[in-house]
Structure 1
Amino acid sequence: MSAVRPTSGVQDIMALRQEVLARSKALQDVRAASEAGTVPATADPTGGFADTLGDALKQVSAVQQRSGEMQAAYERGEVTDIAQVMLARQEAGVAFEATLQVRNKLLSAYQEIMRMGG
């Protein structure tokens, strides 16, 4: 039985999630340092967080579109391998769930930043 390997789209989402977690940790460190009265030196951002997020969302959209196309092709009788169709649907589902988790983390970080400002 072969293991199903994640696709590059899912890997990109997971990498984005790791980046969000790292930035969240950096914000917590800054907050802890500011409460202690010191502010650590910050490194230049590697840039492009919005671009990275946009690219990841485009990839998730492409995975979902591919899944929809495969399902439609199966319904038309063009694709006969139901396993491929189901795998594409599962891949799209996992990518969507990962996107939701990243969105939740970003929302949580935004809310924490707003609380810190007051």
Structure 2
Amino acid sequence: MAIEAIAAVSGTEALTGTLPAASLAPLREPSTLFAAVSDQIATTDQRIHAAGESVRQLAAGEIEDLHGVMLDLEKAKLSMSLIVQVRNRLLESYQEVMRMQI
């Protein structure tokens, strides 16, 4: 059995042809991340208020669509869960950066 030597890497020029074009795109500006999070927070707030209004209307007898009310509640719950998870990830990232030694 013959063992062949590993060829040396000739530099980054050889790698650029194998990478997908999306990975070579420049990083987005930080403001786009914050704008997206801000938009999602606003959407979550609207869904929570809409779900609360639906529950109030159901309790008052103004509407009888229990299915729609439950859908509104689940949308609000999932949106809130998403925001909490994003916050947790951002907080973990910040803490990891703060632990780095310079």
TM over 0.5: yes
Matched residue, 1:114: 98
Aligned length: 78
Matched residue, 1:45: 28
Shift of 1:43: 2.8
Uncovered stretches (5+) of structure 2, i.e. residues with no partner: 1-24
Uncovered stretches (5+) of structure 1, i.e. residues with no partner: 1-41
Matched residue, 1:83: 67
Deviations 1:23-55 (A, max 9, x none): xxxxxxxxxxxxxxxxxxx93424422111111
Max Rg structure:
2
Q: Distance in 1 between matches of 2:101 and 2:48?
A: 38
Shift of 1:108: 0.5
Compare relative contact order (CA 8 Å, sep 6+) and give the higher one, 1 or 2. Answer: 1
**1:62 aligns to what SS in structure 2?**
helix
Deviations 1:41-96 (A, max 9, x none): x9342442211111110000001111001011111111101111111111111111
Does the C-alpha gap of structure 1 residues 62 and 117 become closer, same or farther in structure 2, counting only changes over 3 Å?
Answer: farther
**1:97 aligns to what SS in structure 2?**
helix
Matched residue, 2:49: 65
Consecutive aligned runs of 4 or more in structure 1 exceeding 3 Å deviation = none
Deviations 1:7-27 (A, max 9, x none): xxxxxxxxxxxxxxxxxxxxx
Please tell me the root mean square deviation across aligned C-alpha atoms, in Å.
2.0
Taking structure 2 as the reference length, what is the TM-score of the superposition?
0.68
Structure 2 counterpart of 1:112, one-letter code? E
